[in-house]
Amino acid sequence: MQYKILITLISIFISGKTFSQPYIYDSQSLDDNNKKWNNYRLNLQTGAVEFLERATRFAYSDDNTDQSILIKESRLGELDIHNIKTGKHIALPFENYARRVNWLVDAIPFNKLYLHITDCSGTYEQPMQPDKDKTYIIDKTTDMFIDSTDAFITTFKYGDYDKPFFSKDYSKMYFLKTDTGRTAFTIVSTANNKEIGTQYCGTSSDKGYEKYFVTGKNGVAVLKYLSEPRNESKQKLVVCDVDNGTIQSIISFPWSFSLALSFDTKLLFVEKIRTRHYYPENSSLLATERIKTGEYYVFDTKTGGLINTMSLPKGGSLLLFENYPNTIYYTFHDDVPSASKITPIATNTTIMSVVELFNWFSSTVLAQSIANKEVVNSAFINQLQTHIDNAKNYYLQNDIANAKKELTKFRERLGNTPQRKEGNPFVKKEGYKNLFFNAGYLMGRL
């Protein structure tokens, strides 16, 4: 698997420290049966590839670019946990067979590592047994197992596991509760690794919503709320300040997405993911392909306001590391590992002015919808552009009320949502979402 790497330098207003070289670890299958693997690490600053060993696959590595702790798993579920710097094996108090690591978090100030491990020796009908899960705590200084806890058993939800995250001062760990009727998180003390209570965010009921944990760090969590199952047009991203028990912002985002939260928790980078449904060859089962567009929205987590956009090459992924808080690494995946050139992309997260947002809306959002034939009919398109031009002119005259009215007229002219039969014949579903919600982001900045 090759990584073609673009390093995206984004200032996120945190003073960073100097650390060891940033690495990512990965594995390349050497046969069709995935029985042999080539394991390697890639230096994100130089592009140099270092092959490590074969036979087993790296399953997880820690959240730091230092990545001194590596976990390897075989096809039979045998775990090998060791410190790659010292070469020491880290022994845990269980038989290694039929175990799987579900999540790993790194308590950097305490030099501890939390590994949540599942007993996979269940039946065909029940392949995993969450009631037998346990979280093991490792001292990274001594490479020794120091404690275990059952506090995180209920991180198992929807057939998967939510990864807990730390409070800003690392005294607590949080994970989402789903059965409270309000947005709530279980609290686990890092002093004794025991559950110590519940932290609620906001005062409103969240009944009627499906809620999913997306990411969290430094006392802030991002959740996905759906008011209607599988209807992304009704989807909202909810930013919770869990430390203080408040909801910071709610962002409507009607597309599939991938996202990253900056380590100072001020910025949310959300990539628009396009989905394609198709029938694979010789199959009657409908498949879905997620297409990474490289179209990123940068939101202010405090206000939910759109502050910038990034247009990056398609197919990449953002990597953020706590010990490199001022740098975002943008990586690509291909077939064979090699040391490819690293090209810096000059981007920034300075707040785009409202005028710049108006220009972006006309030259990018509306233009793309026209090019993709998501909105048609030249007379109708001219009417839309007139509303945008009028709103911009009113804004330049400091007439915010009329600027908002023009943007409201723009959204109304798009017609009803595409799910309704009386939707506008000139606007397709994707065009509606693209124009309606981006106009809303623009209006939110007035």
Domain ranges within the chain, ordered by starting residue: 354-444
What pLDDT, on the 0 to 100 scale, is given for residue 156? 59
Query: pLDDT band at 352, cuts 50/70/90?
Result: confident
In whole angstroms, give the CA distance from residue 164 to residue 185. Answer: 10
pLDDT cut 70: percent of the chain above it: 72
- The pTM of this model reads 0.84
Question: Mean pLDDT highest for which of 160-169, 316-325, 341-350?
Answer: 160-169
Read off the pLDDT of residues 142-156 as tens digits, 9 standing for 90 and up.
888 888 888 887 665
Q: Which two tokens stand for residue 327?
A: 């740098």
What pLDDT, on the 0 to 100 scale, is given for residue 6? 44
Rounded to a whole number of angstroms, the CA Rg of the chain reads: 24
- Angle made by CA atoms 236, 237, 243, in degrees to the nearest 5: 135
The backbone torsions φ and ψ at residue 176, rounded to the nearest 5 degrees and listed phi first, read: -70, 135
Q: Which two tokens stand for residue 347?
A: 């981007």
Is the per-residue pLDDT at 298 higher than 60? yes
Rounded mean pLDDT, 98-113: 80
Q: Which two tokens stand for residue 65?
A: 């670019």
The rounded mean pLDDT for the chain is: 78
The backbone torsions φ and ψ at residue 115, rounded to the nearest 5 degrees and listed phi first, read: -120, 120
Closest CA to 189 of 171, 165, 168, 167: 171
What pLDDT, on the 0 to 100 scale, is given for residue 440? 93
In whole angstroms, give the CA distance from residue 329 to residue 376. Answer: 38
Report DSSP letters for 167-227, one per residue.
Answer: -TTSSEEEEEESSSSEEEEEEEETTT--EEEEEEEEEEE-TT-EEEEEEEETTEEEEEEES
pLDDT cut 90: percent of the chain above it: 32
In whole angstroms, give the CA distance from residue 117 to residue 157. Answer: 15
Query: pLDDT band at 216, cuts 50/70/90?
Result: very high
Rounded mean pLDDT, 104-113: 84
Read off the pLDDT of residues 380-425 as tens digits, 9 standing for 90 and up.
999 999 999 999 999 999 999 999 999 999 999 998 544 444 567 8
Distances (CA, A) of 246 to 196, 239, 242, 298, 303: 19, 9, 7, 21, 13
What are all long-range contacts of 238-243, with beta carbons under 8 Å and residues at least 24 apart?
238/183, 238/211, 239/268, 239/301, 239/304, 240/183, 240/185, 240/201, 240/202, 241/201, 242/167, 242/174, 242/185, 242/199, 242/201, 242/216, 243/167, 243/168, 243/219
Q: What is the crossing angle of helices 400-413 and 429-444, to 10°?
A: 170
Helix (H, G, I), strand (E, B) or coil at 47: coil
